[in-house]
Amino acid sequence: MNHYPHPIIAREGWPFIAIALVVTVGIHAWAGFGWAAFPWFIVIFMVQFFRDPPRRIPGEAGAVLSPADGRIVLVEKARDPYLERDALKISVFMNVFNAHSNRSPVDGVVEKTWYFPGKFFNADLDKASMENERAVIYLRTPDGQDVTCVQVAGLIARRILCYAKEGRQLARGERFGFIRFGSRVDVYLPLTATPRVTVGDKVYATETVLAALP
């Protein structure tokens, strides 16, 4: 299992859950359950949104793991605008019912990071990759493979959290960020990578293998 010091509920969600819970308990005590029913629903939604369960890490050599829970919306050859190369692009769309903790797809050193302010189009749309707010990490694996991982804000998401710093060593499956509330993660891989998923597949962060590197 991947060790994570804040299991079950992501630390990013603690303030939101605490505020919602305090407000809801106050409404319930003052006005009764009838008035508090919807606030209790909000509390339950917050808990499920910020869940962050431990995940089993596949041991397969060369495996590129999904950096997020969600649905595959793109698997195609595309231009990697950050490393200026042709690449295999795989995109994972997260809706508000997916866990939003982001994890490293490969073992590697963070060579460079970028942050781009932008718009908030629906993350399911292709143009979101280049026009929405996004944070980018460029990883180099121990055998010299280049992998670009891009956190993309969505229609509702208004906060990208990326903790990866240049020079940091990330292990595959290691948590590096979080996006609030609905978003997308793009992964750019060498053209020699073999995809293991197709459009429409449901994937899980760390546990699903997106592709295999030679």
- Looking at residue 71, its pLDDT comes to 96
Question: For this structure, is 183 an active site residue?
Answer: yes
What pLDDT was estimated at residue 135? 93
From residue 55, alpha-carbon distances to 14, 20, 48 in Å are 20, 27, 16
Query: Which is the CATH superfamily of the domain at 63-212?
Result: Glucose Permease (Domain IIA) (2.70.70.10)
Positions in the chain whose pLDDT score sits under 70: 1-7, 118-131, 154-158, 181-182
Handedness of CA 66, 72, 74, 75 (dihedral sign): positive
Q: What is the pLDDT of residue 201?
A: 98
Burial class (CB in 10 A: 0-12, 13-18, 19+), 204: middle
Spatial distance between the Cα atoms of 4 and 97, rounded to a whole number of angstroms: 21
- What's the whole-model pTM score? 0.85
**How is the chain split into domains, by residue range?**
8-52, 63-212
C-beta of residue 142 within 8 angstroms of C-beta of residue 111: no
195 vs 214: CA distance, rounded Å: 11
Both structure tokens of 71: 């649905």
